[in-house]
């Protein structure tokens, strides 16, 4: 096995390795939505960053710099802003326009969700598995993927949490085992959404399905061949209207 060069810790050393942890997927990112020149749910993003940085061993001074960057996004251009950091430092914030939030058709992708993975419960910059699942789904003519474990447990979409609404109006989402608990997921759970194991084959028990991420909410029109009502109940629309 080829030995990798060590990163120099000497002052003034070559910058080639300055952010090498990011190149190897050993970093964190936060995606924040700015609307009306205001960062939405900033406190929730900061709390998640602090928790994940502790898990990843990122120094406190780097975390504080990242938090300062996040706070500086107030009164900036509307859209999505990404803050990326590793043990070595923080990258300048990156901006992009808000994506289209049209209805989504999902294809189940088996073996792309691992409930035992603790690292997947943090917003790292390691997303190869997520892109793989999305590519498989799109190659089959779907908008996105639904990541499912080998034991048929439903996890999440590649870049969003998933929620299921039964015919009584109750809202459920898979437990946060091996998946990223998004900030919007936390808000909906505070409003009464419940964690519940959902398995491949359970989809016909539900009337509505939707996805949540920093960008907002997307209604799911179908999973594989199962179709859903795309008119969400008013109590859910009321909860997500501040997003």
Per residue in 188-217, pLDDT (tens digit) is: 999 999 999 999 999 999 999 999 999 999
pTM over 0.85: yes
User: In the CATH hierarchy, which top-level class contains the domain 18-96?
Assistant: alpha beta
Q: b/e per residue, 214-233, with b = 16+ CB within 10 A?
A: bbbbbbbbbbeebebeeebe
Per residue in 115-131, pLDDT (tens digit) is: 999 999 999 999 999 99
Give the domain ranges of the chain. Answer: 18-96, 104-240
The two three-digit tokens of residue 72, written as one number: 């500086």
Task: Find the angle CA(142)-CA(149)-CA(203) to the nearest 5 degrees.
Answer: 55
Closest CA to 105 of 140, 138, 136, 144: 144
Share of the chain above pLDDT 70, in %: 92
CATH number given to 104-240: 3.20.10.10
């Amino acid at each position: 096995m080829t030995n990798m060069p060590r990163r120099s810790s000497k002052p003034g050393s070559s910058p080639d390795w300055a952010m090498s942890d990011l190149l190897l997927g050993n970093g964190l990112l936060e995606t924040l939505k700015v609307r009306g020149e205001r960062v939405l749910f900033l406190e929730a993003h900061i709390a998640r960053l602090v928790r994940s940085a502790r898990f990843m061993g990122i120094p406190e001074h780097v975390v504080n710099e990242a938090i300062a960057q996040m706070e500086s996004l107030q009164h900036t251009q509307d859209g999505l802003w990404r803050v990326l950091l590793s043990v070595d430092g923080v990258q300048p914030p990156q901006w992009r326009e808000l994506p289209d939030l049209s209805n989504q058709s999902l294809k189940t992708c088996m073996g792309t969700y691992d409930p035992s993975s603790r690292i997947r419960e943090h917003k790292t910059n390691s997303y190869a598995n997520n892109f793989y699942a999305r590519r498989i789904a799109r190659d089959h003519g779907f908008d996105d993927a639904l990541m499912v474990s080998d034991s048929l447990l439903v996890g999440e979409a590649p870049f969003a949490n998933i929620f299921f609404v039964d015919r009584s109006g109750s809202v459920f989402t898979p437990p946060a085992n091996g998946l990223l608990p998004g900030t919007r997921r936390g808000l909906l759970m505070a409003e009464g959404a419940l964690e519940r194991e959902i398995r491949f084959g359970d989809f016909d028990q539900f009337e509505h399905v939707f996805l949540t991420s920093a960008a907002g909410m997307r209604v799911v029109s179908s999973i594989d061949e199962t179709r859903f009502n795309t008119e969400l109940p008013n109590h859910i629309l009321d909860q997500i209207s501040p997003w």
